[in-house]
Structure 1
Amino acid sequence: MAFILVAEPAAAVAGALRKFLESASHEVTMATDVREALERVRELAPALVLASVTESFDGEALCRQVKEEAPGIPVLLLYLPEEEQPEARASAAGAEACLVGPLKRATVVSCVSLMMQLAQARETVSVVRTEMQLMQHQGPRREPSSSGADLEFLKRLLFMEVKRSRRYRYPISYLLLEPDRYAERIATLAPAQRTSALAEVLRRLSEALRDIDVAVPFAEGRFIVFLPYTPHEGAMVVAERLRQRVKEVESVPGLTASMGLAVFEPSAQKGQAQVSFGSLMKEAGDALRRAQAAGGDRVEGGRQAPAEPVTE
């Protein structure tokens, strides 16, 4: 749950946005003009600001002021359907992302979810990096790395589920997904447009999953899809479904994705070595690289993760 400021003068639109966000368990506060919105930002420090850009409301001016006073607060700008260059305008204003009406609940919630997850990831990575730097003064010296911090972030999210799988002996599957030709097709977009495209990818993935499944951003352009209680056969079905859903992304026509799959199916026999978070992540990464090397738009992997001593 996040505390979100909605800056929108039209009561009907504001009410719809509030309903969308509260249905996703967010707490919402409202503002009807730029002055009031800035007061809310200064007093309440929301986790995210949604601001409309219309003739009667200058959301871009609000965004620039927010970025000047509180640059760490993400801003999502909402444009009318007739706007021809929303991504360029949003990027110039300093917004992290933009959406163009008519707005649907799934689109708004997915974009907000991605923005919040990315913000949390950046904060967590910063904390872990600081911890690693402090550790340099207390033990063997080693250089901190962003990849190490990212791994720590994911361990905090997913370690408990891996632990439950080992204890209660149910199958789990990991999919590591990356859009093909990411550096060429998505990374070169303006920041706001890139965030919107990744939000659409996340929405397409989430729509194709069960309530108990989780899709989260891992690193720039990569997503992890975690499938509890899912053996190899079921994970392959889900992977193929997700592969087709990526092709439906409208903001990047013709987009495809490669996926690496890792599966752990514990045996009922006693004495079997147990899987670790690290082994699953390594296998999914290796399988993803094989899929990319084979030309992309495919799923590789799926064998049971190799047994190794548990180190977590």
Structure 2
Amino acid sequence: MAFTLVAEPSASVAGALRRFLENAGHEVTVASTVQEGLERVRELAPALVLASITEGFDGEALCRHVKEEAPAIPVLLLYLPEEENPESRAAAAGAEACLVGPLKRATVVSCVSLLMQLSKAREAVSVVRTEMQLMQHQNQGPRPVAASSAADLEFLKRLLFMEVKRSRRYRYPISYLLLEPDRYAELLAPLPASQRTSALAEILRRLTEALRDIDVAVPFAEGRFIVFLPYTPYEGALVVAERLRQRVKEVESVPGLTASMGLSVFEPSAAKGQAQVSFGSLMKEAGEALRRAQAAGGDRVEGGRLTPAE
């Protein structure tokens, strides 16, 4: 069974975190020092590492060691309430996400569950990329990219549905990008199947390389990709979108290739009340934004925030 490593020097805090997670069905092991935490990682390969940042415990150092030795293991860093720049510090350490105290049970359990689910989603995306590469090498006939792993795409859709619900409940931002190469019918569609598959695989590879481990990029339809950015507000999503737009231009197999993107961001407000947003509304907004980007000449990002009704 996959388990979570809690790296926390305080026995009372570690005990509380352990109860939170075990009551939610997670198996937990605890380490009280950075060295002990690293030894647990080496011996047991946990599904996730949850590490505190305190005056006497350098969870960021543990995170950096984990990412050097086992980069696929997600790391969640826990900061004290007075920390002013937790997101930038966590990103610099290589962590997938961070939380700032005081910690509530529902928030901890939700974030741990999300990171584990995203790890599974990344495995599904890896299967898609592998199948695309095999199609390229075997020179198979035409086959829609999205159909190459329908089960994996269905898993991703279920994950996205779930995360919209979590975002509404626990009030964290999520962002979606729909990306489509410009002039697809002119530049990509006429290519032989093997070359077209190779080009799409290269696009997916360059997108994935430009994302955090917590993010997910997957073929959504032939010639279209969906990028899911959890815990990402509007400004951060714009930065990512522009970076991806530039990466598409680096595709070597199709010189001069550009892409249009539709962005849809949900940022729950701090006020109480159920936000009226759904997976369908997010995807609809992203699709409409993509069409606006294409109508404006392509090679651009369009879209914005979906605000909740209070």
Q: What is the TM-score when the length of structure 1 is the normalising length? A: 0.54
Work out the CA distance in 1 between the residues paired with 2:23 and 2:112: 13
What's the offset of the Cα at 1:65?
A: 0.8
Worse-superposed segment, 64-73 or 285-294: 285-294
Once residues 118 and 149 of structure 1 are traced to their aligned partners in structure 2, the CA distance between those partners, rounded to angstroms, is 20
Task: Give the secondary structure class of the aligned counterpart of 2:280.
Answer: strand
Give 1:26's aligned residue: 26
What is the alpha-carbon distance in structure 2 between the residues aligned to residue 176 and residue 63 of structure 1? 25
> Relative to structure 1, is the Cα distance of residues 71 and 181 closer, same or farther in structure 2, using a 3 angstrom cutoff?
closer
- In structure 1, the residue matched to 2:108 is 108
Correspondence for 2:152: 153
- How far apart are 1:195 and its partner, in Å? 6.3
Q: What is the rounded CA distance, in whole Å, between the counterparts of 2:91 and 2:163 in structure 1?
A: 29
Of residues 287, 290, 304 in structure 2, which corresponds to 1:289? 287
Structure 2 counterparts to residues 78-227 of structure 1, below 5 A:
78-138=78-138, 140-141=140-141, 152-156=151-155, 219-221=227-229
The answer on whether the counterparts of 1:6 and 1:14 sit within 8 Å (CA) in structure 2 is: yes
Contact kept in structure 1, 2:79 and 2:101, CA below 8 Å: yes
- State percent identity of aligned pairs: 60
Which deviates more, 112-121 or 35-44? 112-121
Distance 2:19 2:148 in 1: 36
Change (3 A) 1:94 1:143: farther
Residues 46 and 73 in structure 1, CA contact (< 8 A), matched pair in contact too: yes
What is the TM-score normalised by the length of structure 2? Answer: 0.54
Structure 1 residues 26 and 92 mapped into 2: Cα distance closer, same or farther (>3 Å)? same
Q: Which runs of 5+ in 2 are unaligned?
A: 168-172, 178-210, 217-225, 231-265, 293-302
| 2:259 maps to 1:260 | no
The one-letter code matched in structure 1 to 2:280 is G
Q: Partners of 1:90 and 1:176 in 2: how far apart?
A: 22
Per-residue deviation, 1:298: 8.8
Q: Tell me, yes or no, if the aligned pair for 1:258 and 1:288 is still in contact at 8 Å.
A: no
Paired residues of 2:176 and 2:286 also in contact (CA < 8 A): no
Q: CA deviation at 1:142?
A: 5.3
Give 5+ residue unaligned stretches, structure 1: 160-173, 184-190, 199-217, 223-245, 262-283, 300-312
Which residue in the other structure is 2:235 paired with?
A: none
Deviation per CA, 1:235-257: give whole Å up to 9, x if none: xxxxxxxxxxx664449xxx985
Change (3 A) 1:285 1:55: closer
Q: Could you say which residue in structure 2 is the equivalent of 1:206?
A: none
Cα RMSD of the aligned pairs, angstroms, is: 4.3
Corresponding residue for residue 52 of structure 1: 52
Kept in 1, the 8 Å contact 2:131–2:148? The answer is no
Determine helix, strand or coil for the equivalent of 1:155.
helix
C-alpha displacement of 1:116: 1.2
Contact 1:4–1:26 (CA under 8 A) maintained in structure 2: yes
Distance 1:53 1:287, change over 3 A: closer
C-alpha contact (below 8 Å) 2:5/2:31 kept by paired residues: yes
Residues 232-271 of structure 1 aligned to structure 2 (within 5 Å): 248-250=268-270, 259-260=279-280
Distance 2:23 2:139 in 1: 47
CA contact (8 A) 1:50 1:76 kept: yes
